[in-house]
Amino acid sequence: SAVISQKPSRDICQRGTSLTIQCQVDSQVTMMFWYRQQPGQSLTLIATANQGSEATYESGFVIDKFPISRPNLTFSTLTVSNMSPEDSSIYLCSVVRTRQSETQYFGPGTRLLVL
Amino acid sequence: QKEVEQDPGPLSVPEGAIVSLNCTYSNSAFQYFMWYRQYSRKGPELLMYTYSSGNKEDGRFTAQVDKSSKYISLFIRDSQPSDSATYLCAMSAFSASKIIFGSGTRLSIRP
């Protein structure tokens, strides 16, 4: 498995502001993903964070709202921009160690509340 | 229609009972099937992983996949209060690719 940490673990933000969430892995991984888990719902993939290039976004998610960086093989950030109460959610990063690996491991999540 | 359907529960059973959790899916391309366990205020933890059809056993947990029926199950034997959590089924078409999650079943084991 991989040891994954996220910062912050939780935050309360005002609408219209932005929050950047960090994901740090204890070793190099091939793939990193960002998910959203809204209250009482399952996980929805936001985007795949690509090292050294633009992230690949899923339908319904755009770069202007959720800019993502991945400067190296152990670190990624997700920014939630111009927040509204609808962005209140848990944001999780996940990793896959190698392209032959069949499993994704998840970080502990960042609980975001937007007032 | 959702790609993956899972009964949200909640499901409450007495300690020691056998628990059966199930998911159905519509995409015949799915080949990799997973069960994650998520405790309150924690990230999902990979519990079981199965490729294609068949059974896989790990301690008290057994995962079954029936691709002909597009149906997967997770059985928990001798359930313990510590098994109380939300269980998410998940699946993907390719290795190390996008995973589609079920909505999760909240399970409570009564002492």
A49 contacts in B (CB within 8 Å)? none
B44 contacts in A (CB within 8 Å)? 43, 92, 106
**Partner residue facing B96 (CB), from A31, A42, A111:** A31
Q: Tokens 């997967």 — which residue?
A: B72
Query: What pLDDT sits at residue A97?
Result: 83
B1 vs B52, residue with greater confidence = B52
User: Looking at CA atoms only, how far is residue B35 from chain A in angstroms?
Assistant: 11
Q: Are B33 and B99 in contact (CB under 8 A)?
A: no
Confidence of residue B53 (pLDDT cuts 50, 70, 90): confident
Distance CA B31, CA B100 (A): 12
Q: Which two tokens stand for residue B62?
A: 């057994």
User: Looking at CA atoms only, how far is residue A36 from chain B in angstroms?
Assistant: 11
Check if A43 contacts B (Cβ < 8 Å).
yes
**Partner residue facing B43 (CB), from A44, A98, A107:** A107
Distance CA A57, CA A78 (A): 12
Check if A112 contacts B (Cβ < 8 Å).
no
A111 contacts in B (CB within 8 Å)? 41
B45 contacts in A (CB within 8 Å)? 106
State whether residue A64 is helix, strand or coil.
coil
Q: Tokens 């975001």 — which residue?
A: A112
Confidence of residue B40 (pLDDT cuts 50, 70, 90): confident
A105 contacts in B (CB within 8 Å)? 46
Q: pLDDT tens track of chain A, all 115 residues?
A: 678 999 999 999 999 999 999 999 999 988 899 999 988 788 999 999 988 889 999 999 999 999 999 999 999 999 999 999 999 999 999 998 876 666 788 999 999 999 9
Q: Which tens digits make up the pLDDT trace of A61-82? A: 999 999 999 999 999 999 999 9
Q: Which of B39, B49, B97, B100 to mutate to test the interface with A (most CBs of A within 10 A)?
A: B97
First to last CA, chain B: 37
Whether residue A99 and residue B104 make contact (CB cut-off 8 A), yes or no, is: no
User: Looking at CA atoms only, how far is residue B85 from chain A in angstroms?
Assistant: 13
Check if A100 contacts B (Cβ < 8 Å).
yes
